[in-house]
Chain A
Amino acid sequence: MSDETTSPPKAPVSPAGRPVWQRLSIVWIVPLAALVVVLAIAWRNYADRGPLIEIGFENASGVRAGTTELRYRDVKVGLVEEVGFAQGLGQVLVKVRLDQAVAPYVDGDASFWVVRPQVTTQGVSGLDTVLSGVFIEGLWDNEPGPAAARFDGLADPPLERLGTPGLRLTLRASGGAALTENAPILYRGIEVGRIGKPVISDEGSTAEAEAVIYAPHDRLINSATRFWDASGFSFSFGPGGAAVDFSSLASLVSGGITFDTMLSGGSPTEPGARFTVFEEESAARASIFSGNEGEALTLSVIFDENITGLSTGAPVELNGLRIGEVEALNGMVDEARFGDGNVRLAVTLAIRPGRLGLDGENGTDNALDFLSERVAEGLRARLATASILTGGLKVELIEVPNAPEAQITQTEGAPPVLPATDSEISDVSATAEGVFERINALPVEEVMAQAITLMQNANTLIASDDTRAVPGNVNALLTEAQALPARLDTTLAELETLIAQINEQALAARVSSLLDDAAEAARSVGSATEGVPQLIDRLDTVAARAGEVELDVLASDLSALLASADRLIGQDDTRALPGQLNATLGELALVLEELRAGGVVDNAVAALDSARSAADTFAEAGGDLPGLIAEARGVLARANTTLEGYQAQGGVGRDARAALREVEAAAKAVASLARAIERNPNSLIRGR
């Protein structure tokens, strides 16, 4: 390139041996600084690196190494570093690098679950994970604890949401109550808790679910609280119209339970307490009064017979005292155990120790001990009829004398088994059958037929012309009785004529003394007969009433009438009257004997015949009256009058008959003599 000759003058160069730092460019600081920065970052990263934890999951759907985050309260606190399998491929192991800041809090209590989008009847949750991919949510308390490296992930989110502590309970479904996962627990329509995943209880008879009541509503729960199923709806149709009733649309669709504290003064509830969820509010309310306090002793009984009629909730009775109820019914086929392939009835009983007076700390144990002792003495369970009408059954615990040896058998993981004996259903039904047969054998038809006949007879009697004619006859009779004085007048007029003739034939002297007696008798009769017009008036009234067939009034009137008649007849004068009349008539007969010889006798006889016929008419009428009364009595009796009324009327009838007979006699006497003789003194006085 260049020759030595043309070589330029020596360029000034630095003297050799300069210090190293002077020979180095300042630019070297840049890579050094970069190196320092890199080292610093690397060291910081390493120093800040949190611990690696392992979480075991059933599957790792959506979890990706390096992408999926671990979140706490929706803040990223870690990252999935590796997804692999646990030994034996039983689980998916997700290794998560925790942030240093939260690492101390992630202790043994921490729980993890994968948040995925979920569409349930409760709503849509985790929608953001559709876009961002799933993430692992962690939950731990605020207290630092000893570190743990291995966790088991939950399949479902835990009940306690972040920042919402609450009271954990165990709910047990009874009857048809349904426990739906994640369903709300409502109180006065407000959600105060959630139901967890229901599982079948250990003994397999009911469903149980964890539930949580969020604070501060947990103080609403105490031992007197009752839960019931608020889902579904009821439809009622009544005079007020149709009504559909349901708690809320959400609980209608998704289920839900609600609760109420039915009594004041319940004791506070411990976490994990067990509550029964009833099918409906009424059952829940009923349970509060059934001494349902305390934990129930669960027993099972295996009945050889499989008989319909037993249902859950049926009573369990010990010597007639209800000590519990049937909790579940299951069929059971266990050829190895029983030696045949028959279906047996396995009944789960819930015995309330409180009902045995054994409540308290170890109520169930005490109750079991008590029952074990009793079983050794012969206590057995049997099915018995609870209701003849419905055929419902109950479980009875009774002591069977000379029972074969047996005891309560206890098996791990299953309720103790109470020995059973033959049920008593057939006896009861036979008795019931006997009762029904007897009822059947009663001559109901005959009785009815007789009653009908009786009523028909009464009807016929009342409707018959004869009966209807009775009032008319009575009327006619009374008319004749009224006409009687007129006829007596005529008769007496004839008698007067006769006596005038007698006077003329100078028989006056004998007749005079005779007539003095007669006059006296007539005076007596006069005073005696003062009541007679009144009596006839009454009869008239009676007859008028009888015309209207008011038999009761008639009866009372008759009663009064007859009382009057009785009074009349009871007078001494009246009683003396027949005797005197007889005497008078005897003498009169003698007079007439003599008169007959005088030729006037025929007239007198005719006159007396007329009088007798008139009296006979009266007598006839009087004879009819007892018949009438008898008929009236019959009618009245069959028209269901009281016995007292019957007797009273009977008395009336007897009195009436007797009275009328006496009236008849009196009337006869009056007809034949009295009026005439009453007038006679006048003629005698004038004629003589």
Chain B
Amino acid sequence: MDLPEGVNTARGQGLVGCTRCTRPSPAGTARCPRCGSRLQSRDAMSLQKVWAWWLVGLGCYIPANLYPMLETRTLVSTQSDTIVGGAVDLARHGNWGVATIILIASVLIPVGKFVVLAGLAIGVRHGPQISEAWRHRLYEVVEYIGRWSMIDVFVVAILSALVQLQALATITPGRASLFFALSVIFTMLSAQSFDSRLIWDSAESARPARKPKERIA
């Protein structure tokens, strides 16, 4: 993506933008004169937070895939499926559509989130391989789509609330659903912790000497 030449960051102009009401204030201002929130030109801890949440999220994602997501007890059988196992089972029975949705919502999106977040965080520190505009767009997508991963947890919650027919059929959430929900929450927190302004800092500092960055660090 091409960026117009001479894009200035607020910081480049000696200003600091309020992240809540977006009002720019002169650098050094402690609090936003309009909304009163604390002003910080760059979140120095951003990357640490991202990595911390990211690690916990990834840690939760592993048991979320190993443990069963749903436990279905019917009159004759008890079935407990992991996420991937369930999707494979569905695909084997010909429900390609549902299997695809599950795979996208439960595997592709979370994994994509981990990859993108990791990529963004690494890109801030090291030389970015793709343009700032692309990275920003990726970040926006990740932040937006992250919450939709909760759809799996919702399905499990709704099913287990509805299907409680005692002996006939009972669906209970498996252990994986808790881990999956935690994983989603942690990745969302991770995405939120990411200070998207850092994307542009690296773009800004790419051409001149990386002085400001050294200062920041």
Contact = CB atoms under 8 A, between A and B. Distances in A.
Contact of A30 (B41, B53, B200): B53
A25 B45 contact: yes
B117 to A, nearest CB: 14
Interface string A1-29: 11110111111111000000000110110
Contact of A28 (B52, B205, B215): B52
A631 to B, nearest CB: 109
A446 to B, nearest CB: 92
Contacts of A11: 11, 27, 41-42, 212, 215-216
B8 A13 contact: no
A34 interface: yes
A14 B44 contact: yes
Interface in B78-116: 78
Contact of A25 (B52, B167, B208): B52
Interface string B183-209: 000100000010000001001111110
Nearest to B80: A67
A154 B216 CA distance: 75
Contacts of B56: 30-31, 34
B14 interface: yes
Interface string B40-70: 0110110011001101100110000000000
B59 A2 contact: no
B37 interface: no
Given A11-B27, A25-B48, A27-B48, A6 B41 contact: no
B215 A10 contact: yes
A134 to B, nearest CB: 13
A38 interface: yes
Classify the secondary structure of A's interface with B: loop
Interface centre among A8, A13, A24, by most chain B C-beta atoms within 10 angstroms, is A8
Given A1-B7, A1-B9, A1-B12, A27 B193 contact: yes
A1 B8 contact: yes
Contacts of B206: 1
Contact of A9 (B27, B52, B55, B78): B27
Interface in A116-135: 130-133
Contacts of B7: 1
A326 B148 CA distance: 88
B216 A31 contact: no
Interface residues of A, number: 27
B13 interface: yes
B76 interface: yes
Nearest to A32: B52
A105 B181 CA distance: 41
Given A1-B9, A34-B59, A27 B53 contact: yes
A7 B49 CA distance: 29
B27 A2 contact: no
Contacts of A10: 215
Contacts of B216: 11, 13
B76 A2 contact: no
A11 to B, nearest CB: 5
Interface string A28-43: 1011001100100000
A11 B215 CA distance: 9
Given A25-B48, A27-B53, A1 B27 contact: no
A336 B12 CA distance: 116
A483 to B, nearest CB: 128
13 contacts: A1-B203, A4-B208, A13-B215, A13-B216, A25-B49, A27-B45, A27-B53, A28-B52, A30-B186, A31-B59, A35-B59, A130-B76, A131-B76
10 closest Cβ contacts across the A-B interface? Answer: A1-B204, A8-B14, A25-B48, A25-B45, A2-B12, A27-B52, A27-B49, A31-B56, A31-B55, A28-B52
Interface of B: 6-9, 11-15, 27-28, 41-42, 44-45, 48-49, 52-53, 55-56, 59-60, 75-76, 78, 167, 186, 193, 200, 203-208, 212, 215-216
Given A1-B12, A27-B45, A34-B59, 19 more contacts: A1-B204, A1-B206, A1-B208, A2-B9, A4-B208, A6-B8, A6-B12, A6-B13, A8-B15, A8-B27, A11-B11, A25-B48, A25-B49, A27-B193, A28-B52, A31-B52, A31-B56, A31-B59, A133-B78
